[in-house]
Amino acid sequence: MATTNDIKNGTVLNLDGQLWNVIEFQHVKPGKGGAFVRTKLRNVLSGKVVDKTFNAGTKIDTATVDRRDFQYLYKDGADFVFMDTDTYDQITVAGETVGNAANFMLENQTVLIALHEGNPLYVELPPSVTLEITYTEPGLQGDRSSAGTKPATVETGYEIQVPLFLETGTRVKVDTRDGGYLGRVND
């Protein structure tokens, strides 16, 4: 058992049989009354975000979550197969668990998978990835970056919005949190 003093970003709490990941926390010591800890928690399975306040010193139940690097191997039906980069063991993760990360994963890419008692909880990608545009409408003469955006399909099959001047075959940096275009990559 831990106390509220042990709360940090990334700590996973076991509240009422559900696992919650601490996104933000703040220790508050008001001038009057007892101290407390204000937290923002994300449900590990559903992704729902809630605010919760704990009195300082309250005992809380933390869950042991093992976060390890895995290499994405291939898609198997609706599931995804990953390999542990340390032990070379393969695990299959359900498509619902992978979620939106599937839009940005390429084969052989390294991702972080959080495991609780051997069960995958979620897949975490780096903040941005480099992907190649496989299809977009050709730009017109005179198109500039400030003129607007157009849809483009990247090599994972996901569609993003890019500036009008980009063409098929261009490598771009994409934000894995919201699918936003971050810039062109010159390799």
What pLDDT is recorded for position 177?
83
Better-scored residue on pLDDT, 132 or 45: 132
pLDDT on residue 146: 59
Residues 101-160 pLDDT 10s? 899 999 999 999 988 888 888 888 888 999 999 998 886 655 555 567 889 999 999 999
**CA-closest candidate to residue 14, choices 26, 1, 27, 5:** 1
Rounded to two decimals, the pTM is 0.71
Model pLDDT, residue 160: 92
The per-residue pLDDT for 142 is 59
At residue 96, the pLDDT reads 84
pLDDT of residue 17: 85
pLDDT tens digits along 20-39: 888 899 999 988 888 999 99
Residue 187 has pLDDT above 80, yes or no: no
**Bridge-partner residues for 70, per DSSP?**
84, 111
73 vs 107: CA distance, rounded Å:
5
Q: Walk me through the domains of the chain, giving residue ranges and CATH numbers.
A: 2-60 (2.30.30.30), 67-124 (2.40.50.140), 128-184 (2.40.50.140)
- What's the pLDDT score for residue 143? 52
Q: Name the band, by pLDDT with cuts 50, 70 and 90, for residue 167.
A: confident
* Long-range CB contact pairs, 22-30, < 8 A, 24+: 23/49, 27/56, 29/56
Residues 46-86: pLDDT tens digits?
778 899 999 988 899 988 888 899 999 999 999 999 999 89
Who contacts 141 (Cβ-Cβ below 8 Å, separation ≥6)? none
- CA distances to 134, 145, 180 from 141, rounded to whole Å, are 21, 12, 25
